[in-house]
Chains A and B, each alone.
Chain A
Amino acid sequence: MSAAESANAIQRNQVDLLDFIDWSGVECLNQSSSHSLSNALKQGYREDEGLNLESDADEQLLIYIPFTQVIKLHSIVVMGSEEDGPKTVKLFANREHMGFSNVSDFPPSDTAVLSPDNLKGKPVVLKYVKFQNVRSLTIFIEDNQSGSEITKVQKIALYGSTVETTDMKGLKKIEDH
């Protein structure tokens, strides 16, 4: 898929799924306490280049994101620096409470190997068919570009669409005759 096509796909009817993230259930394993997940996910923080999500004990990160409603995931954007940014990213749909020990127990819904272009902001288009009915997403960052001890992620953005889209404004009261 060319860059133009993926950019178009985003413009079509894919929205930034930031509004549908259930923040109370968001978890991140092995994050450094001073550089937490909010720096990469939250509006405003993720645009700031100085604020990164950093790993702690080693270079792996395990991020769990539940959603407030069922969504279809189209693509993701993972931004970071060229040396410390993530390389191999595995995505698991609808797996609750994973740990580092069971990431290899079942195959991921999709795997992305990030290129420097991706790290600059080019979205990674995913296997859409695998992400049709997603309640929660687990992102496993396995290693980083240079193999250093700490992985730094500047931004994570998810693009897709929601499954149930009832437009409440369209509901009208039935008038009595």
Chain B
Amino acid sequence: MVLEATMICIDNSEWMRNGDYAPSRFQAQADAVNLICGAKTQSNPENTVGVLTMAGKGVRVLVTPTSDLGKILACMHGLEIGGEMNLAAGIQVAQLALKHRQNKKQQQRIIVFAGSPVMHDKKALEMIGKKLKKNSVALDIVNFGEDDEGKTEKLEALLAAVNNNDTSHIVHVPAGPTALSDVLISTPIFTGDGEGGSGFAASAAAAAAGGVSGFEFGVDPNLDPELALALRVSMEEERARQEAAAKQAAEEASKEEKGGEEQDATMTERASEGASEADNKKIEIADDDDTSLQQALAMSMDEPTSSQGLQDTEMSDAAAEDPELALALQLSVQDSTKDSSSQADVSKLLADQSFVSSILASLPGVDPNDPSVKEVLASMQNQSEPQQKQDEDKAPKKEEEK
């Protein structure tokens, strides 16, 4: 959200006709410029951006720093390719344009697209860099296109001369299948010195990173933000529940040393916090230590087969990869009537020692071979049979109540 005035220096020299960046170097550059302008104006409405060309007949300022995005995009049309890039003059004119910005409170920044060979020598570039630093102008360099001897070195030297506290950056973009704009999105040029990109940049980054496979949940946040938000929220709820279950399991393992009174209370809170239909479970938790712990553990681990039908299509993609996640997902769509029957199912599940030990093994700090853990597992197994009977007793009672 830094208040900034930016001048973008475009290379429209003959070297930009080359097609090694799809569709042509110049077009890739234009796309990148459009994206940058959008990102800058979005991150702070008072930001201004200006554009100048460095090649052709001479350095020409197309638009002075303005916050009007339309004007900037319009001036990118009808640009002609030709001539040679004059980097030094370009940067100096950009500095002058920034000096006469209307809002003196804005920080000054120049973004240079260096696609053709650099004619100037290192010393001259270093002098320019020093002058920029003296006047507290930051410089971002996009090194793409031609890579002749010394160009990278010269640009690095220029950056070193300008750089003050990491406000200036250089990005080297090699030719390849990924577009120039996509590569730039993840760089500090877009994200603004690591302060966290604007929503624009972030969603654009998601688009780029996702590629053909789509976005995080198979839904475009731009197309359907509510759905994307709902999916993200439910995902986080499941993770929270999973963590709660993991914590309960870990604490169960160390329960014998502690004596579970206090844990009961906290676990009760945790267990009820996740579930939306908490009431029934609370009643059942109120019992004896072991049973309550088991039930809490049970609630967050559900047999996959029992509520398969409840899975939504959207969630199935994410769930398919991780069976534990699938369990957690099912929990979130479970309704209250299912509870009592699932309790019985889950007890059986707990009785399956291999399953439980595999869960415990995946928890950090819990060693299934640890004797105390084994003791607990054994005790759980013993209790699971009387527990089942208890559950079945309770289940019909609850059905009667409803």
B partners with A: yes
Q: Measuring CB to CB, which residues of chain A are less than 8 angstroms from any residue of chain B?
A: 29-30, 33, 56-58, 60, 96-97, 99-101
CB-CB < 8 A to A56: which residues of B?
133-134, 164
A100 contacts B134, C-beta separation under 8 Å: yes
Q: How far is the CA of A97 from the CA of B102 in the complex (A)?
A: 12
B104 interface residue, CB < 8 Å from A? yes
Q: Which of A30, A57, A60, A100 has the most CB of B within 10 A?
A: A57
Q: Chain A nearest CB: distance from B110 CB in Å?
A: 15
CB-CB < 8 A to A97: which residues of B?
104
B104 contacts A58, C-beta separation under 8 Å: no
Q: Chain B nearest CB: distance from A86 CB in Å?
A: 16
Q: How far is the CA of A60 from the CA of B99 in the complex (A)?
A: 19
CB-CB < 8 A to A99: which residues of B?
99, 135
Chain B residues touching A, range: 10 to 19
A101 contacts B99, C-beta separation under 8 Å: yes
B354 interface residue, CB < 8 Å from A? no
B369 interface residue, CB < 8 Å from A? no
Contacts A56-B164, A99-B99, A101-B99: A29 and B104 contacting too (C-beta < 8 A)?
no
Q: Chain B nearest CB: distance from A120 CB in Å?
A: 29
B134 contacts A57, C-beta separation under 8 Å: yes
B305 interface residue, CB < 8 Å from A? no
Q: How far is the CA of A33 from the CA of B133 in the complex (A)?
A: 11
A58 contacts B136, C-beta separation under 8 Å: no
Q: Chain B nearest CB: distance from A148 CB in Å?
A: 16
**A97 and chain B: residue at smallest CB distance:** B104
13 A-B pairs (CB sep. < 8 Å): A29-B134, A29-B135, A30-B134, A33-B165, A57-B130, A57-B133, A57-B134, A58-B134, A96-B104, A97-B104, A100-B134, A100-B135, A101-B99
Q: How far is the CA of A56 from the CA of B165 in the complex (A)?
A: 12
Q: How far is the CA of A49 from the CA of B164 in the complex (A)?
A: 25
**A101 and chain B: residue at smallest CB distance:** B99
**B162 and chain A: residue at smallest CB distance:** A57
Q: In the complex, given contacts A29-B136, A58-B130, A97-B104, what are 18 additional A-B residue pairs having Cβ atoms less than 8 angstroms apart? A: A29-B134, A29-B135, A30-B133, A30-B134, A30-B135, A33-B164, A56-B134, A57-B131, A57-B133, A57-B134, A60-B134, A96-B104, A99-B99, A99-B135, A100-B134, A100-B135, A101-B99, A101-B135
Q: How far is the CA of A4 from the CA of B135 in the complex (A)?
A: 40
Q: How far is the CA of A57 from the CA of B128 in the complex (A)?
A: 11
Q: How far is the CA of A97 from the CA of B5 in the complex (A)?
A: 15
Q: Which of B130, B134, B135, B164 has the most CB of A within 10 A?
A: B134
CB-CB < 8 A to A30: which residues of B?
133-136
Q: How far is the CA of A99 from the CA of B136 in the complex (A)?
A: 10
CB-CB < 8 A to A33: which residues of B?
164-165
Q: Chain B nearest CB: distance from A36 CB in Å?
A: 11
Q: Chain B nearest CB: distance from A42 CB in Å?
A: 20
Q: How far is the CA of A61 from the CA of B104 in the complex (A)?
A: 19
CB-CB < 8 A to B134: which residues of A?
29-30, 56-58, 60, 100
Q: How far is the CA of A154 from the CA of B104 in the complex (A)?
A: 28
- Ranked 3 nearest A-B pairs via Cβ: A57-B130, A57-B134, A30-B134
Q: How far is the CA of A29 from the CA of B132 in the complex (A)?
A: 11
Interface residues of B in 151-170 (CB under 8 A from A): 164-165
Q: How far is the CA of A45 from the CA of B300 in the complex (A)?
A: 59
Interface residues of B in 114-136 (CB under 8 A from A): 130-131, 133-136
Q: How far is the CA of A56 from the CA of B135 in the complex (A)?
A: 11
Q: How far is the CA of A101 from the CA of B135 in the complex (A)?
A: 9
Q: How far is the CA of A30 from the CA of B130 in the complex (A)?
A: 10
Q: Chain B nearest CB: distance from A65 CB in Å?
A: 15
Q: Chain B nearest CB: distance from A32 CB in Å?
A: 9
Q: Chain B nearest CB: distance from A30 CB in Å?
A: 5
CB-CB < 8 A to B130: which residues of A?
57-58
**B104 and chain A: residue at smallest CB distance:** A97
Q: How far is the CA of A97 from the CA of B165 in the complex (A)?
A: 22
CB-CB < 8 A to B135: which residues of A?
29-30, 99-101
**A60 and chain B: residue at smallest CB distance:** B134
Q: Chain B nearest CB: distance from A164 CB in Å?
A: 26
CB-CB < 8 A to B136: which residues of A?
29-30
**B99 and chain A: residue at smallest CB distance:** A99
Q: How far is the CA of A100 from the CA of B133 in the complex (A)?
A: 12
Q: How far is the CA of A122 from the CA of B136 in the complex (A)?
A: 32
Q: How far is the CA of A56 from the CA of B131 in the complex (A)?
A: 11
CB-CB < 8 A to B133: which residues of A?
30, 56-57
**B164 and chain A: residue at smallest CB distance:** A33
Q: Chain A nearest CB: distance from B207 CB in Å?
A: 37
CB-CB < 8 A to A96: which residues of B?
104
Q: Chain B nearest CB: distance from A91 CB in Å?
A: 20
Q: How far is the CA of A34 from the CA of B31 in the complex (A)?
A: 39
Q: How far is the CA of A140 from the CA of B50 in the complex (A)?
A: 30
Q: How far is the CA of A97 from the CA of B133 in the complex (A)?
A: 16
Q: How far is the CA of A134 from the CA of B29 in the complex (A)?
A: 49
Q: How far is the CA of A25 from the CA of B166 in the complex (A)?
A: 23
**A30 and chain B: residue at smallest CB distance:** B134
Q: Chain B nearest CB: distance from A8 CB in Å?
A: 40
CB-CB < 8 A to B104: which residues of A?
96-97
Q: Chain A nearest CB: distance from B162 CB in Å?
A: 9
